[in-house]
Amino acid sequence: MKKSKVKKPQKILCYIDFAKSSAYVVEYAHKLACLLEAELFVLHTVTDIRSAAGFYVPHINTDKLEEEVVKAAKDKMYAICSQVGDECVDARHRLVTRGVPIEAINKVIKEKEIDLLVVGHEVSTGALKSFKGDQAEKFMKNPTIPFLVLPV
């Protein structure tokens, strides 16, 4: 990330993992986007089933299974965004992709020219205690843009 003049974010990406706190994270990102008059994108990634299914379960039609998983994820994304408000996230700004979350986040940042990333982080006791293995920590190791980590 280049450390230069601070600029107002025009596009915000909110990454959710469908945890119980996802609606809170989307609501926070939506309010922030409204305050900054920025576009809000919400992203979720689903596991790439083909990579595991070919080796472990070769008899299952992975294409059909992946379609069902992606459709279920889109339905869940709609439900979470609806909890926040019907107008909160435009349908074309609700993104569901396959693959590794960090790779998907970086791809969307590049393609959509995102200025700020918002992610939630489970905190049990103490600030950032359980960051090991968390998506926020993985992004923090090599950030390309500023990010906001919400304790949930």
**pLDDT tens, position by position, for the chain (152 residues)?**
555 677 899 999 999 988 888 999 999 999 999 999 999 999 999 977 666 555 555 556 777 778 888 899 999 999 999 888 867 788 899 999 988 888 899 999 999 999 999 998 876 644 444 444 556 666 677 788 998 988 88
Number of H helices, E strands in the chain: 5, 5
Going from N- to C-terminal start, the domains of the chain cover 11-151
CATH no. of 11-151: 3.40.50.620
pTM of the prediction?
A: 0.82
